[in-house]
Amino acid sequence: DAMVIQNPRYQVTQFGKPVTLSCSQTLNHNVMYWYQQKSSQAPKLLFHYYDKDFNNEADTPDNFQSRRPNTSFCFLDIRSPGLGDAAMYLCATSRAPGQVNEKLFFGSGTQLSVL
């Protein structure tokens, strides 16, 4: 089945130690998104790639970076994780933005803990 896969399912890192979360997709979708969801909060869009074009949200901290080496893979890099970065990180894909009824396909998420 075509899907969005996130690894690892749980990630523990130390305060200030760089960490990378990965996402892959077999849907061949053009757009890949990273959302951050803290407990009882709405998923918050950090950034997205439309093909190779990177689109950062205005309020995404510089501490968060992303790479998309090819259509299938997208990475979220947290350069110096703080305690406030502990959250669920959700990767999602869509065929293309800007189309009526376009919808997102989500991975299962990576739960990040910062010690």
Partner 1 sequence: DQQVKQNSPSLSVQEGRISILNCDYTNSMFDYFLWYKKYPAEGPTFLISISSIKDKNEDGRFTVFLNKSAKHLSLHIVPSQPGDSAVYFCAAYRDDKIIFGKGTRLHILP
Longest Cα–Cα distance in the chain: 42
Region binding partner 1 by CB under 8 A among candidate stretches 14-22, 64-72, 74-82, 89-97: 89-97
Separation of alpha carbons 59 and 9, rounded Å: 26
Q: How far is the CB of 14 from partner 1 (least distance, A)?
A: 25
Residues 39-78 that bind partner 1 (CB under 8 A): 40-45, 48, 50, 55
CA proximity to 23, closest of 4, 9, 37 = 4
Per CB under 8 A, residues contacting partner 1 are 4, 6, 35, 40-45, 48, 50, 55, 90, 92, 97-98, 100-109
